[in-house]
Homo-oligomer: A and B are copies of this chain.
């Protein structure tokens, strides 16, 4: 349920497009971190305890394929760094991400208050 498939003659549900793109155990978190500033692969891995290099690479590739982020390789003394950041298009998703975050905060309040 990552990238849009050719099938699905289903229900017209615009929200589904967005959920498909951000579905994936780490994508929301990656997007959240990148909102702050660009990150290197290693930085992301460091700030996401529990993720394996393989899976993180997969998720980043998918986000890149979907046009939300892009990685810029920079060689520092023969050692490769890749800096990931939002694309212009990817940034258009941020308001929606904020809406989800806002609700998450309300949720926390509701959880403790019931």
Which residues of A32-57 are within 8 A (CB) of B? Answer: 32-33, 47-50
Interface residues of A, dominant DSSP? helix
Q: Is there an interface contact between B17 and A32, defined as CB atoms closer than 8 Å?
A: no
CB of A61 within 8 Å of the partner chain = no
Hey, which chain B residues are within 8 Å of A33, CB to CB? 11
Set B14, B22, B99: member contacting A105, Cβ < 8 A: B14
Q: On chain A, which size bracket covers the interface?
A: 35 or more
Q: Is there an interface contact between B11 and A104, defined as CB atoms closer than 8 Å?
A: no
Q: Is there an interface contact between B49 and A29, defined as CB atoms closer than 8 Å?
A: no
Q: Is there an interface contact between A14 and B50, defined as CB atoms closer than 8 Å?
A: no
Beyond the given A14-B103, A19-B100, A93-B103, could you list 16 further A-B residue pairs with CB under 8 A, ordered by the A residue number? A9-B49, A11-B32, A11-B33, A11-B49, A14-B101, A15-B31, A15-B98, A15-B101, A16-B104, A17-B104, A18-B101, A18-B103, A19-B28, A89-B110, A92-B106, A96-B96
